[in-house]
Amino acid sequence: MRKDAPGPGPGFSLVELMAALAVAAILLGLALPGFQETVRRHRAEAAVHQLSTMLALARNTAIVRRTPVTVCPSLGDGQCHTKPDWSSGWLVYRDPHRASQPASPADVLQEVRMPLHGSVRAYSSAGRLRVRYQPDGLSSGTNLTIRVCNDRGVHAQLVVNNTGRVRVSRPSGPPAACPAPD
């Protein structure tokens, strides 16, 4: 096309632009609910991976350093929470004396604060608030179960057995409700 040719130049008319925007808005409106569900699942799955990685790291630390290591829900100040709510973070500390709290700040190996998105919660078994790994990697006592929940219900459960290994199980069918423990 010549530059000096009469008539409109190349481009879109206002009507064409408005039609394209209307189609894009409709497609976005249809895709958004599916995208929100994907983000919800991804956040819960990230929490499962964070917790299972931290538990595996604590077990390996106990074996390599040949000293008991405990993982507990954190209050955020270098102390263990007294409730089974892991949502605000967790604490890994050297625990040679079976203490319910770290003996000193030097015993804290790692503290993770506020790792989970606000829509994701994690709760452990009410009867067991912490995991204590022996120097051989075993976790004596009863199994510990940590439920990872989103606003739809239970997304997955992490189970730490007596050998210290972490197993992840996911509910089949619709998610069950995830009430906070007392």
Structure tokens at 170: 């996911």
CATH number for 15-169: choose from 3.10.450.40, 2.60.40.10, 3.40.190.10, 3.55.40.10: 3.55.40.10
For 86, the token pair is 């892991």
| pLDDT at 10 (0 to 100) | 73
**125 contacts 52 by C-beta, under 8 angstroms:** no
Give residue limits of the domains in the chain.
15-169
Q: How confident is the model at residue 33 (pLDDT cuts 50, 70, 90)?
A: confident
How many Å apart are CA 87 and CA 43, to the nearest integer? 13
- The Cα 152–Cα 175 span in angstroms is 7
Q: Which CA distances in Å does 14 have to 17, 20, 69?
A: 5, 10, 67
Q: How far apart are alpha carbons 76 and 134 in whole angstroms?
A: 24
pLDDT digits (tens, 9 = 90+) for 78-106: 889 888 989 888 999 999 988 889 989 99
| CB burial of residue 78 (10 Å; 0-12, 13-18, 19+) | middle
| Predicted pLDDT at 6 | 62
138-151 average pLDDT score: 87
Residue of 160, 148, 138, 157 lying closest to 116 (CA atoms): 148
Res. 47: pLDDT tops 70: yes
Let me know how long the chain is.
182
User: What is the per-residue DSSP string for 52-117?
Assistant: HHHHHHHHHHHHHHTS-EEEEEB-SSSSB-SSSB-TTEEEEEE-TT--SS-SSGGGEEEEEES-S-
Of the candidates 72, 51, 174, 32, the residue with the CA atom closest to the CA atom of residue 121: 51
